[in-house]
Amino acid sequence: MVALANSKRDKSEVLTAAITRIADLWSLSNGKLGAILGVSMATASRLRSGQARLDPTSKSFEAGQFLLRLFRSLDALLGSDDTAAKQWLATENLDLGARPIELINTMRGLIEVCDYVDFYRARV
């Protein structure tokens, strides 16, 4: 039972750190990060400062996993160019019908953007 608790804590710690790093690289505000994860701006601030972690049983943890998936897919497609990833997110996408950065505010939009990027990643 202790090993299971440590495993959950480790997953939470690792994902929270990754999400914080992504938010910094993509210059996401606490409000934007909170919207993506489905948490308040204050909670997003606590996550970034290390005062809180994502709960592995929560929807915000699942959203964090999708955000990490999006980051990794864009990183692979764009050759680890964080500036290009930020520009891609901010640019109107005709296939998606909006700017990806706007779509990822909802779980449905986040999944849609992940699927779209993964589709192109699979073609490369």
DSSP assignment string, 60-122: HHHHHHHHHHHHHHHHHHTTT-HHHHHHHHHS-BTTTTB-HHHHTTSHHHHHHHHHHHHHHHH
Tokens of 37: 């994860």
Q: How far apart are CA 78 and CA 36, in angstroms?
A: 22
Per-residue pLDDT reduced to its tens digit, 12-21 = 899 999 999 9
Per-residue pLDDT reduced to its tens digit, 30-79 = 999 999 999 999 999 999 998 999 999 999 999 999 999 999 999 999 98
pLDDT at 116: 94
- Non-local CB neighbours of 36 within 8 Å, separated by 6+ positions: 28, 63, 67, 104, 105, 110
Global pTM? Answer: 0.87
pLDDT at 40: 94
